[in-house]
Chains A and B, each alone.
Chain A
Amino acid sequence: MNQLPQGGKGARRGATPRWQRLLRWLPLDLWRGMALTFRRQAPSAVYTEQYPLQRPVVADRFRGAPRLNNDFETGETLCIACNLCALACPENLIVVGAQRNAQNRKELTFFTYDLSRCMFCGLCEDVCPTDALELTQDFELAAYSREGAIWDRQMLENGPTPKRYEK
């Protein structure tokens, strides 16, 4: 009854028996549709995610806000200011600032990351030799100005702090 016609009109006539053609006068498909919408209105079937109240679960391999990791024992940054991320970045949006200290070691002075140009390709985190730079699962990157999208070292170390709502 609800199948697509196969071939010409004659073929369809031959395929469906007479009693099925009579069934067409009972709009069964209408009743079936109404049964479907009736079943779907159960509150448990609701698919909407009430975003600020309910937070979405992002995929494991989601690449979101960048983060500069610190050594969790000493609290010092893992970044050795090697500049590889800045070189790897196709958008040239990372700027790494460093200074030689008394032991002639490079020390990180500043680190800026322009999120407004970032395409989250993940090349920077791939190339980082000390796993200092990492793209996390945080996705709330909105800012009130273009300058707000340029994250400095402190912002990169702390990560975004969105307002949490209670349901």
Chain B
Amino acid sequence: MTNDETRMRGVVPLFVIRASSFLRYSGFFILVLLALSCRKAGQPEAIWCETGTGPDQVVYPRGIAYSPSDDTFFIVDRIAHIQHLDHKGGFLNDWQMPQWQQGKPVGLTVGPEGDLWVPDTHYHRVVVYKPDGTLVRKFGEMGTEPGQFIYPTDIAFDSKGHVFVSEYGDHDRISVFDQDCKYLYEIGRFGQGDGEFSRPQSMLIEKDTIYLTDASNHRLCVFKTDGTWVRNMGKCGSGPGEFRFPYGLDMAKDGNLIVCEFGNNRVQKIDKQTGKSLEIWGQAGRQPGELAYPWGVAVDKRDRIVAVDAGNNRLQVFEE
């Protein structure tokens, strides 16, 4: 018995190595196996839904809303199929918008009472449902007069229960309604300047501040709920803190903004005060962790980010 062998015996009680070449071979193959089995960094925590028209299936999903009261999600896709999912992406119930041949909703919002508010974009109105799909109310019609809409995109609520509806299409603005959906006033107008926006795609209201994705101007806008412009954040581009068609918007637990970009195929965490990019998820692609045409985003109480990966017909769940 050589000294080496004696030493090895103490380390590996099962084997006695006669040649070091075996170590090299087996080490190589173990590395290969490890490489094959390892997950890539940046992969999502989960992928929900697949292509199709059935339960837990989507066709180009476009809107998402999180319901904190029961820890569930609502999503809507290109066939106006609204699905109610649990916090694991499991199917709960579904229904379809009454009319959708002209076009489908592009956003969803859960109201203070837990109802689902749907900006029925191409029918120029707002439709409200109970979580079980029961129709509660609908209001609005096509037009540019107060209380009318062209293409409503999103709905938000302030602490008073006022309803804020954003719209685009020749008459970009945010219309404000009271709790009974009676028109009160409007905020902003079409344009590129301060206090103006071009395709306000998503809104978020925190206290008396409105955060808005100004999609075609590739920036975020901040207003007061009384209509006072506060500031703009970001510019067109692909770098951190820059945007290309920011569409989806939600707020993380730490109060920062989560923005998904239709153009840059990614999700950014943005400091709501400075506009600085804090974190980025995703890039253009079809693989897990990659996004194609992300339309919407929602953050749940676990601080998980659920991105609507429209072009890949799925939802992807990212963890902060």
A binds B: no
The chain B residues found within 8 Å of chain A, CB to CB, are none
The chain A residues found within 8 Å of chain B, CB to CB, are none
